[in-house]
Amino acid sequence: MTPPTQKSGRDDEGARGRGDDWVAAGTGFSESVLAVKSEGSLWAWGRNEFGELGLADTVARDRPVRVPHVVDCACVAVGGFFSLAIDRDGALWTWGLNHLGQLGVGEISDDGAPARVTICGRGLPTATAKADVKVRPGETGRFAFSIEDPQRSAVLVTVVVRTLELDLLQRWRLGDKPTNVDLAENLACDLPPGDYLWYVYAIGADGYKQPRSRTARLTVRPKGLLRRQTRGQRSPMNDTTDPPGEGVPAEVTLGREDD
């Protein structure tokens, strides 16, 4: 078997904290490791053939990398190419190999991002980002999304902006929104030019967040930056900015918005 590709995870010194505050750890057949720090952060490293590190990819890591999807982690376990964690609220999260349904999420497909295991029939709402957003600094962008929930007429909605490394930058709590319709909000992004990711989350009346949401791209464009135009294209109607940069994931899944 070909060894997995190694990658140094993003992990600055300030985020790591002390090296002596680990409180729980686990490893297993898959040669991957999960560990929990005293403040509840979850870290992973090692083999990652089926996404068992919970980092939404299949790239191995040779040093601890924080798993952004699970916060306030209490304990962990590692199985055969899949992983489990329980947070301090008692919620169970699973990810990795799922060819036999071992993740317990109602699907038979691998998942590299932690998904919350829920009791059948609870009926969590699901939220989906509908389109990429393009805006200039200080201007307002239009965030389009939809929410599906067969059991409720309205749910609480939150929109979150993160860096490509999943660091939280901006959050809007939108309050109650109707379900089963296409929605859009005009929101002002106070961010420097660059590419970001935005998520929409739905929270049911019972307080449970949906286990994951689809992610779209937010591109903040420099003011006054125009495409090169040929002589025949020079017109005020062609006031368009450069296209967004390359290398932004089209979709990323995330378990919780409040980490």
Single out the residue of 78, 3, 239, 108 nearest to residue 94, CA to CA: 78
Average pLDDT of the residues in 85-102: 88
In tens, the pLDDT along 103-124 reads: 887 667 778 888 888 765 455 6
Mean pLDDT of 160-176: 86
pLDDT number for residue 48? 94
The answer to whether residue 236 scores a pLDDT higher than 60 is: no
Nearest Cα to 202, choosing from 166, 163, 156? Answer: 156
Which residues neighbour 210 within 8 Å (Cβ) at sequence distance 6 or greater? 124, 125, 126, 127, 201, 202, 203, 204
pLDDT recorded at residue 158: 85
Three-state helix/strand/coil letters over the chain: CCCCCEECCCCCHHHHCCCCCEEEEEECCCCEEEEEECCCCEEEEECCCCCCCCCCCCCEEEEEEECCCCCCEEEEEECCCEEEEEECCCCEEEEECCCCCCCCCCCCCCEEEEEECCCCCCCCCEEEECCCEEECCCCEEEEEEEEECCCCCEEEEEEEEECCCCCEEEEEEEEEEECCCEEEEEEECCCCCEEEEEEEEEECCCCCECCCECEEEEEECCCCCCCCCCHHHCCHHHCCCCCCCCCCCCCCCCCCCCC
Same topology for domains 6-116 and 126-224, yes or no? Answer: no
* Domain assignments of the chain as residue spans, ordered by start: 6-116, 126-224
> How confident is the model at residue 254, as a pLDDT?
40
Task: Output the pLDDT for position 98.
Answer: 86
Terminal alpha carbon distance of the chain? 36
Judge if pTM exceeds 0.85. Answer: no
Q: What integer best gives the mean pLDDT of the chain?
A: 77
126-224: CATH homologous superfamily?
Immunoglobulins (2.60.40.10)
Q: How confident is the model at residue 185 (pLDDT cuts 50, 70, 90)?
A: very high
Query: From CA 214, how far away is CA 237, in angstroms rounded?
Result: 33
Q: Looking at residues 163-192, what average pLDDT do you find?
A: 88
Residue 172's closest CA among 181, 161, 183?
A: 161
Asked whether the predicted pLDDT for residue 179 surpasses 50, the reply is yes
Which CATH fold would you assign to the domain 6-116? Methylamine Dehydrogenase; Chain H (2.130.10)
Q: Is 183 a residue whose pLDDT tops 90?
A: yes
* 66, 51 Cβ separation under 8 angstroms: no
- C-alpha–C-alpha distance, residues 195 and 224, integer Å: 17
Q: How far apart are CA 68 and CA 15, in angstroms?
A: 12
- Token look-up 């140094």 returns 8
The rounded radius of gyration (Å) of the Cα atoms in the chain is: 20
What is the band of 232 on the pLDDT scale with cuts at 50, 70, 90? very low
CA distance 69 to 31: 21
Region 166-177: what's the mean pLDDT? Answer: 86
Whole-number pLDDT of residue 47:
94
Residue recorded with tokens 């949906």: 210
Average pLDDT value for residue range 129-145: 91
Quickly state the pLDDT bin for 135 (edges 50, 70, 90): very high
Q: Do the bridges between strand 154-162 and strand 92-96 make them parallel or antiparallel, or are there none, so unpaired?
A: unpaired
pLDDT at 211: 52
User: What is the average per-residue pLDDT within 162-188?
Assistant: 88
Q: How far apart are CA 169 and CA 252, in angstroms?
A: 16
Per-residue model confidence as pLDDT tens digits over 8-43: 444 433 345 556 789 999 998 879 999 999 999 999
The larger pLDDT score, comparing residue 248 to residue 210, is at: 210
Looking at the DSSP assignment, which residues form a beta bridge with residue 134? 219
